[in-house]
Amino acid sequence: MSFQPNFVWGAATAAYQIEGAAREDGKGLSVWDMCSQIPGFVKSGHTGNTACNHYYRYKEDVQLMKEVGLQAYRLSISWPRVLPEGTGRINEKGLDFYDRLIDELLENGIDPYVTLFHWDYPHELYKKGGWLHPDSSDWFAEYTRVIADRLSDRVTHWFTQNEPQCYLGLGHFTGEHAPGLKLGMAEFLQATHNSLLAHGKAVQALRQTSKQPCEIAYAPVGITSFPVTPTPENIEAARARTFGITDPGFWMNTWYMDPVFLGKYPEDGLRVFEPWLPEIKPGDMETICQPLDFLGLNIYHGTPVQAGPDGQPEIIGNAVGHPETMIRWTVTPESLYWGPKMFHERYGLPIMITENGLSSMDWVSLDGQVHDSQRIDFLHRYLREYRRAAAEGVPLKGYFCWSFMDNFEWAEGYHERFGLVHVDYADGKRTIKDSGRWYRSVIESNGADL
């Protein structure tokens, strides 16, 4: 059995993680440019100043994508590379880079899937208040129109934002990610509401500005719980934990998704966050809830649960020695079956996995190759579960492996390698890993050989 004939196979990256050229050709600074200079913020003092040097080596990288057999490539635009101050003045050299990259992809038969925001918020707008500023959603809409005006004659697949749980929660609540803020809950929820408004206004801008029919989606983390055994009670417990809000944190789904897809904040969340809720102005929820074509989900792992004696979800701890990736995330292939299934049931849209993969212990062997057998096994297990969801009728649009190439892994610097392509950061040399060649065979069979 294979996936549907129109299923899309790709890989993903993000601008700050691979581009480099952080201060070249008129690019403005992002909050990650700022924070990576703070001693101790990123492991080993690493920065994205050079990263994979994709800004100058993009043609070589597109040829590697072609060699791996990618049908699609999910990239992100660096907002401050295009608008150095975040609004107003356009940096034509920055736009020209994305022009050339899109053309190069299309010339090589690779369909670009463009993410407008993957965490590199303009530093100049951060200084004005960032996501806390009441105009922040309008700033994002202006940026969206600039990108759509230039690229929508060739780009027909768009994502507004990537992983709001991370750039808001880790960036504005725990301070682990840029901009490194530890806001109070009221301020955090205000930033979240403004970010959701920005998503809605970006969708409106794309619909109004696109020069051809397009598909628009949203790519949050799909935080998945799954039943330890598939009894009706355990399935319901897994669903309740996946979509419930029981305490005031940020690792949750519905606070970021229900407004986007259902036009309202979840009732349990409104109760939990009641002391800190921002003002929700007339028309806000209508702005946030714009028609979307599918739901992108970033899923790497999940949590096994069962129904407790009272029927409430009960987390089952992983056994001692349970498989883990190098970044210490558990290996739970079931999450790529249960996650797409449950999110489709709740929101009614087709699903696309926009990130999935692992950090592994990769290096170039004496024979000049990178033998990453664990990545092959990991992807094989997860894709089989994803195919099981497809076999049961869950509408699946595609799969994007994270990531196409090793890159700057945010606060972990260059210590984690997620790529299908190995990057030697000393000289920039690229080497397709065994997993990249295996992935090509999966694409060629449309998953039939899994």
- Catalytic (active site) residue 163: yes
pLDDT digits (tens, 9 = 90+) for 49-99: 999 999 999 999 999 999 999 999 999 999 999 999 999 999 999 999 999
- Nearest Cα residue to 244 out of 303, 185, 171, 317: 303
Concatenating the DSSP letter of every residue in 232-268 gives: HHHHHHHHHHHH---SS-S--SHHHHHHHHHSS--HH
Q: Which amino acid is at 307?
A: A
Query: Per the residue annotation, which of 19, 163, 385, 409 is the catalytic one?
Result: 163
- Nearest Cα residue to 216 out of 146, 266, 285, 144: 144
pLDDT digits (tens, 9 = 90+) for 266-314: 999 999 999 999 999 999 999 999 999 999 999 999 999 999 999 899 9
pTM for this predicted structure: 0.97
CA distances (Å), origin 234, targets 224, 225, 238, 410, 419:
14, 10, 6, 36, 35
DSSP assignment, residue 401? E
Query: Per the residue annotation, which of 334, 355, 385, 416 is the catalytic one?
Result: 355
Whole-number percent of the chain with pLDDT over 70: 100
Instruction: Judge residue 248's burial from the number of C-beta atoms within 10 Å of its C-beta, 0-12 exposed, 13-18 middle, 19 or more buried.
Output: middle
Contact 328, 301 (CB under 8 A): no
Concatenating the DSSP letter of every residue in 131-149 gives: GGSTTHHHHHHHHHHHHHH
pLDDT digits (tens, 9 = 90+) for 359-377: 999 999 999 999 999 999 9
For helices 254-262 and 335-347, what crossing angle results, to 10°? 40
Q: How many CA atoms lie within 13 A of 354 on its CB side?
A: 30
pLDDT band for position 319 (cuts 50, 70, 90):
confident
Domains located in the chain, CATH noted:
8-444 (3.20.20.80)
- What phi and psi values does residue 306 have, to the nearest 5 degrees? -140, 165
Q: How many other CB atoms sit within 10 Å of the CB of residue 326?
A: 16
Provide the pLDDT for residue 300.
98
- Nearest Cα residue to 151 out of 195, 109, 97: 97
